[in-house]
Amino acid sequence: VQLCVFDEWRIGVRTEAGIADVTDALGFAGDPLDRMRFLIERWQELGERIRHAAAGAPLVPEDAVRFRPPVPRPSKIVAAPVNYRRHQEEMGGESGVYGGVTIGSIDEYGAFLKAPSSLLGAGGKIRLPYLDRRIDHEGEVGVVIGREAHGVAAADALDFVFGYVPLMDITLRGGEDRSFRKSFDTFTPLGPAIVTADEVGDAGELGLQLRVNGELRQDANTRDLIYGVPRLIERISGVMTLLPGDIVATGTPEGVGPIEPGDEVVLTIERVGTLRVGVSGPD
């Protein structure tokens, strides 16, 4: 199943033919921003009801909705630093320096946090805060956590995954702290939909392509991840408790490059979907 959030934080099941509004089937009267977290937490119980509701709901064409981030308010976004071998080489090797910052792997540096307020829905615009500094695209596979995870072993980690979603980790280059440079509003495009893990299958074999204005910039496969999804969850959950709806950004492959106002950035992940966003300047 593909699940999205659209318009006034409504919950949709995304199909080839359009989006089925299943919000009322949730039976959730709380803050609309928390609907998807509620659904993820209770998926075992609600999944069948949602599938059934979707089958009977009228379909809204995709170009008639405004996509929101499919988890609008996660407790956290945890992101892997350099996690593809060739990107490690491009960033200067195992102990390289890039954009004034020393680059290390997950072994050394662990993961970092991005502000949840940096999320942007599919079809939105990344807002560049400066025109005189380099700001790069990073296309990544996003993992959506399904169950509270603390101290999870890699062998069990996939039981804690709800699904996958295309994610961009937009990055201002420079000397500020990494979390700060990556947490501007709109710097984490996510969506259009979460694809449940059962439909994605092996997340260790997913093709990933990112294009800017049609030009192929990043082209990789998750089989080249240094830390695959299970080890990443083990490493992160050994430090912090992951909650349902939390997002793990798995790291970007080689080919990162700058974006400019007016660009169209398109990330496609095999069996997960295509995330398309625009780029604007400071005003």
Residue ranges binding Mn ion (CB under 5 A):
138, 169, 252
Q: Which residues pair with 161 in a beta bridge?
A: 145
Identify which of residues 169 and 234 has a Cβ nearer to Mn ion in the complex.
169
User: Across the chain, how many H-helices and E-strands are there?
Assistant: 8, 23
Of 187, 195, 194, nearest to 265 (Cα)?
Answer: 187
Cβ 276 to Mn ion, closest distance in Å? 19
Cβ–Cβ under 8 Å, residues 186 and 120: yes
Peptide bond into 192 cis (omega under 30): yes
Cβ 107 to Mn ion, closest distance in Å? 16
Identify which of residues 196 and 252 has a Cβ nearer to Mn ion in the complex.
252
Identify which of residues 56 and 100 has a Cβ nearer to Mn ion in the complex.
100
Please report, for residues 37, 40, 122, the alpha-carbon distance to residue 30 in angstroms, rounded to integers and kept in the order given. 11, 15, 24
Cβ 221 to Mn ion, closest distance in Å? 17
Identify which of residues 183 and 252 has a Cβ nearer to Mn ion in the complex.
252
In angstroms, the CA 148 to CA 41 distance is 9
Cβ 249 to Mn ion, closest distance in Å? 6
Instruction: Report the 10 Å Cβ neighbour count for 93.
Output: 12
Cβ 250 to Mn ion, closest distance in Å? 8
Cβ 211 to Mn ion, closest distance in Å? 18
Instruction: Report the 10 Å Cβ neighbour count for 139.
Output: 27
Identify which of residues 57 and 170 has a Cβ nearer to Mn ion in the complex.
170
Of 283, 249, 270, nearest to 137 (Cα)?
Answer: 249
In angstroms, the CA 5 to CA 33 distance is 9
Cβ 269 to Mn ion, closest distance in Å? 14
Identify which of residues 62 and 169 has a Cβ nearer to Mn ion in the complex.
169
In angstroms, the CA 53 to CA 47 distance is 10
Of all residues in the shown chain, the one whose CB is closest to Mn ion is: 169
Identify which of residues 41 and 138 has a Cβ nearer to Mn ion in the complex.
138
Cβ 251 to Mn ion, closest distance in Å? 5
Q: For 61-90, what is the HEC assignment?
A: CHHHCCEECCCCCCCCEEECCCCEHHHHHH
Identify which of residues 218 and 252 has a Cβ nearer to Mn ion in the complex.
252
Cβ–Cβ under 8 Å, residues 96 and 103: yes
